[in-house]
Amino acid sequence: QVQLQESGPGLVKSSETLSLSCHVSDYSIGRGYYWGWIRQPPGKGLEWIGYIHNRGATYYNPSLESRVDISKDTSNNQFSLKLSSVTAADTAIYYCARSLRHGYIVDLDSWGQGILVTVSS
């Protein structure tokens, strides 16, 4: 069963760029599926950030699109999130996830454990 693990700094300064990686085990990301990022501010609901397809196409939340970049590194079997010009509102648990079926992006059945990123002033 595929496993996902987020990594990156837990503290980012305001106005800087948040950078996270999601390492994938037991499945080669280049073979298929959509690979996504979702976040959850402390005590609040889920927010979809965006996805990258195994072939490289990306889709972003319109409200974040100007600041988001998702990329993949097939050789290291991981995909990454960059969120620029962060503010305190970007403080959240960031999850990476994979869809259940090829070609779909609304059925996320494999999730990382999540990583808390705090934006400090």
Partner 1 sequence: QSDLTQPASVSGSPGQSITISCIGKTSDFGEYDYASWYQQHPGKAPKLMIYDVNTRPSGVSDRFSGSNSGNTASLTISGLQPEDEADYYCSSYANKTTVVFGGGTKVTVL
Q: Which of 86, 91, 94, 112 binds partner 1 (CB under 8 A)?
A: 112
> For 37, phi and psi rounded to 5 degrees?
-125, 135
CB of 67 to partner 1, least distance (A): 16
Q: Which of residues 19-58 bind partner 1 (CB under 8 A)?
A: 38, 45-48, 51
CB-CB neighbours of 46 under 10 Å: 12
User: Using the 8-state DSSP alphabet, how is residue 102 labeled?
Assistant: T
**Tokens encoding 82:** 């960059």
Q: Are 105 and 36 in contact (CB under 8 A)?
A: yes
114 binds partner 1, rule: CB under 8 A: yes
Enumerate binding residues for partner 1 (CB under 8 A): 38, 45-48, 51, 59-62, 95, 97, 100, 104-109, 111-114
